[in-house]
Amino acid sequence: MNKDYTFTITNTLPGTMARAGVLHTPHGDIQTPVFTVGGTQATVKSLTPEMVKDMNGQAILANTYHLMLRPGADVVEKAGGLAKFMNWNGPTFTDSGGFQVFSLGMAYKKGIDATSHSAKGDAKHAKHSAGQLAKVDDEGVSFRSHIDGSPLRMTPESSMQLQWQIGADVHMAFDELTSPLAGPEYVRTALDRTHAWAERCVSEHAKQWEAHQKAGKPYQSLWPVIQGGRDEALRRESAKFLGALDVDGFGIGGVFEPGEIPDVVRWVCEELPDDKPRHLLGMGSAVSDLFLGVEYGIDTFDCIAFTRQARNGSIYTAAGKLNIKNAKFKTDFSPLDAACSCYTCTNYSRAYIHHLLRAEEILGLTLASIHNEYFVVNLVDQIRESVIDGSFMDFKKQYLAEFDPNLNTEKQA
């Protein structure tokens, strides 16, 4: 492991796979477990980097595919890399473009995403279609831009080249995320392809590091992504195969149903080396999964759902979720969550946020997003402290007993 990049486990929790540690990167240390804030296009939607820092955000994850399209990886490189480009004084991650293989491929316009499985069981949703924007072959993926339809090509080698240009501290290897509706034969094919691509990523990563080292530029780490769907044997096989590569950490990919995290994460983490970090990609918006991910060995998470839901008026509180657009909040002058100390809750009322979102004012998007992002960042911080002081199981039991995911789900009045 490069001296500019190290991972040290400082605490473990007996009877679980939970651990706390420090991930050292060229742009600063990350205390783990941590929620990595989603900044797809080099921005956390409706928030400034300073706002993210003020809510104790430690790292931001951007998307290689989207930055390839605009402004272009070359522009980000000329700006001095992702962190400098977006004025973020901290560590950064990039995913590889592998999620777009799924979202623009089999899942395109079929109502399937990382948090919704309404199409489950419908065979037509598991097939390729003429209208999809991504087609996979053994060498790579041919995309059509979702912006203007122009043809694009991404391979393991080009994904690595793009990520080194973008300059994040942590790169994910190019992989194929399969639809949750794909049959076992295709899951097997995609897994073999992901493994072959990972080896190609390792080779290209070494070439890029050699060139960057000669230019006096800092190290950027590589984490291959474990796949295998819902098949235990394939997940364990993938973890063993990728765990044997000369890499710095690991991503865990998938589109998970509620309740699947403990099994899938356990299968994978039981096979991975203990001394390297593990990132759960797009883990979804279930609060319980934050606890379960940590309990079964996850060090870092990412998910854009918390800010996306905020923009739609779905607010997380210590008691559960509520729809702030509902008419009952029109004259509710209490904070979004009395137990929260975020900027929004300290200064603004439910009635004001209700008004802003109903009036479609931009400020409403910002204030709601500040709160939801603070909620998840702060909760994972509390989970980390509970691992360190040994109170994790009690904290988990008490918190989840008081959190009602369906606190307020009635339709807007």
Domains of the chain, with CATH numbers?
A: 6-303 (3.20.20.105), 318-413 (no CATH)
SS3 content of the chain, % helix, strand, coil (to 5): 40, 20, 40
The half-sphere exposure of 234 on its side-chain side, counting CA atoms within 13 A, is 22
The pTM score is 0.93
Q: How many CB atoms lie within 10 A of CB 319?
A: 14
3-state secondary structure of 35: strand
Maximum Cα interatomic distance, the chain, rounded to a whole number of Å: 63
Record the tokens describing residue 9, joined without a space.
Answer: 């486990």
Nearest partner of 320 among 388, 401, 386, judged by Cα: 401
Nearest partner of 29 among 140, 169, 144, judged by Cα: 169
State the residue for tokens 């109170």: 391
pLDDT 10s digit of each residue in the chain, 413 long? 576 899 999 999 999 999 999 999 999 999 999 999 999 999 999 999 999 999 999 999 999 999 999 999 999 999 999 999 999 999 999 999 877 776 665 554 555 454 444 434 444 444 445 578 889 999 999 988 888 999 999 999 999 999 999 999 999 999 999 888 889 999 999 999 999 999 999 999 999 999 999 999 999 999 999 999 999 999 999 999 999 999 999 999 988 887 889 999 999 999 999 999 999 998 888 999 999 999 999 999 999 999 999 999 999 999 999 999 999 999 999 999 999 999 999 999 999 999 999 999 999 999 999 999 999 999 999 999 999 999 999 999 999 999 998 887 554 44
Strands (E), 194-287: 221-223, 225-226, 250-252, 278-280
Q: Helices marked H in 215-253 — which ranges?
A: 232-243
Strands (E), 19-109: 19-25, 28-32, 34-38, 60-63, 92-95
Q: How many CB atoms lie within 10 A of CB 147?
A: 9
Active-site residues: which are they?
95, 302
Q: How many CB atoms lie within 10 A of CB 244?
A: 9
